[in-house]
Chains A and B, each alone.
Chain A
Amino acid sequence: MREITYQQAVLEALREEFRRDEKTLYFGTNINYELRQEFGEARVRGTPISESGFVGAAVGLAGSGFRPVVDIGMATFGFVAMDQMVNQAAKITYMFGGQAKFPIVIRMTVGTGQFMAAQHSISPYPIYMNTPGLKIILPSTPRDVKGLLKTAIRDNNPVIYFEHRLLGDITGEVPEEEYTIPLGLAEVKRKGADVTVVALARMVHVALDAAAEMAKEDISLEVIDPRTLVPLDRAAIRASVAKTGRLVVVDEACATCGAAAEIISLVVEDEETYALLKSHPKRVCGPDIPIPFSPPLEQYVAPDREKLILALREVIKKSPQ
């Protein structure tokens, strides 16, 4: 199968969906030249730096039958449009009793790794998980991002698409033929028997790397990528933990009230899965601090392969034989 980059996969998804549905439209302060060439200035629309204004305009467009894709850029800029995302887009379907549909895709980039300090390195998806009415996709591979983004554009609800900044240049196999990936379907990225590792975004690659390393010691990891946080594939996570009896969740976001905490909860709250646990579940997350700038500081706080392996050894060691 051919290989393309994550960014190329994003562009293919947009191009295909824009060809498919003329009600799609793109907003951004830094718009893609190729898309503008093909679809024109009216549909691929440069905006002033007015996040609250153009996210709100996307809500009004969506309520009028359009399917806007809004590029906020770094997730940190999303905070100036919070009212429109949290109070408006997320709630109006429900609060107006389902009178209208609000299909909106909002793109934001997340993650550490480029030494951009506290504001530009955040992974704030847990904030949005705590906002009922939004859907959240967090793809880790070129194949996933294309299939999920296409589904997100066709979805009749606001979907936030988080893209890890370091994934843009990675390559991977992407089918040339048409395909979509449903929201709420996790993927087992590597089958294994000893420990379930649920990994998010770039951490999927870190987990796969750790799995290769641990395999040398005959420890077999099952790496699960939820791919979408809302809806979350609870069944797939529970099924894997029921099989392995051990769980480590690895995520770059702050630990407190995060996706990892939710994933551990859904395992331990389930009586059957809980009964099958061989050791305590563990999360490997960013600490509850703003991300620091200086490379040694940033590298110290971001989860990596070594920190994950340390956690894995702990849950294996603590297991009753």
Chain B
Amino acid sequence: MSITREELISMYTKMLTIRRFEERAVREWASGAIPGLIHSYIGQEAVAVGVCAHLGVDDRIVSNHRGHGHCIAKGADLKRMMAEIYGKKTGYCKGKGGSMHIADFSIGMLGANGIVCAGLPIAVGAALAAQLESKDRVTVVFFGDGASNEGAFHESLNLASIWKLPIIFACENNLYGANTLIWDVVRLSSVAERARAYAIPGRVVDGNDVVEVYEAAQEAVVAARSGEGPHFLEFRTYRWRHHFEGGYFPDLRPKDEVEAWKERCPIKRFEQKLLTNGVLDRAGQEAINLQVMSRVEDAVGFAIESPFPDPEDALKGVYSE
């Protein structure tokens, strides 16, 4: 592995942070403490972490409805995230957005989005901004397999291609759009094949192997930074939980399929690799876990203790000054 020990440990820590954060959010939701919906990222941690490992604070990401993992991987503050999910005044969006609309412009996280595929054109604009300013920053847009059947997907790939933009299309193919199997609605053997229609290099990557994600993303980010234009990466992965917590329709995915994917847990696989290679030992692993648990606990505590927004704040902030 050409990745430094620090990077490996950092990626492991981030993946574990996402997992623990999401486990806790699911639990808090089930207890009734979190209003509305949450879309859990559990099972897909390697994608956000392996990709964002190459991004600096100046680089941009655009996220979708399943965005908690992307936020954490880009460096968002767990406390302000959890507070937002709780609908508290101290949250990233002052309680106006919630789980589906977390954004942190100060770290280049341009927002999660409740509309499938809506982030792609926005990311194209962010990438065009970098090109116009002659900056070497890149924009990564995360989206699911389902987004690839939207018109805006094709418009965005085409715009990025004709303008040769520094953008990476990161498709998290978790096989289902809610309960719709992607291969029932795409007659190709991969989503990445669609990139070819727009002269964009595309490839399929094991999204549950963070090292493979890291290497594929590195190639794409380096190319985009050096002016070679857009790249398309399709990460094969799986979400462990239903489309959302509190689903008003049942999870229809085969139980044995869900269990088989849990066997391919991206964190367990990475952990095993790190232990085998001596990058990490059991004591070190336990220390990281404790530290992560404590940060998540602090985030929940912060969210619970924070005040709700003043009701009349609802009327403020529709327009910028």
Contact = CB atoms under 8 A, between A and B. Distances in A.
B124 A63 contact: no
Contact of A96 (B93, B115, B121, B151): B93
B37 interface: no
Contacts of B162: 48
A56 B319 contact: no
Given A42-B132, A66-B132, A48 B110 contact: no
Contacts of A62: 125
Contact of A52 (B123, B132, B155, B319): B155
Interface string A254-274: 000000000000000000000
B101 interface: yes
Given A53-B159, A83-B152, A87-B118, A96 B103 contact: yes
Contacts of B155: 48, 50, 52-54
Nearest to A43: B132
A61 B129 CA distance: 6
Nearest to A57: B125
Contacts of B113: 88
Interface in B114-132: 114-115, 118, 120-130, 132
Contacts of B262: none
B129 A59 contact: no
B110 to A, nearest CB: 6
A59 B93 contact: no
A178 B6 CA distance: 58
Contacts, number: 139
Interface string A156-172: 11000000000000000
B245 interface: no
Nearest to A231: B319
A53 B129 contact: no
Contacts of A68: 125
A99 B93 contact: yes
A53 to B, nearest CB: 3
B2 to A, nearest CB: 32
A61 B126 contact: yes
Given A63-B122, A64-B125, A133-B318, A96 B101 contact: yes
Given A59-B121, A63-B110, A88-B118, A97 B152 contact: no
A65 interface: yes
A135 interface: yes
Contacts of B118: 56, 83-84, 87-88
B143 to A, nearest CB: 13
B96 A97 contact: yes
B92 interface: yes
Given A53-B159, A59-B121, A98 B128 contact: no
Given A54-B121, A87-B118, A96-B103, A60 B110 contact: yes
Interface of A: 25, 42-43, 47-48, 50, 52-66, 68, 83-84, 87-88, 92-102, 132-133, 135, 156-157
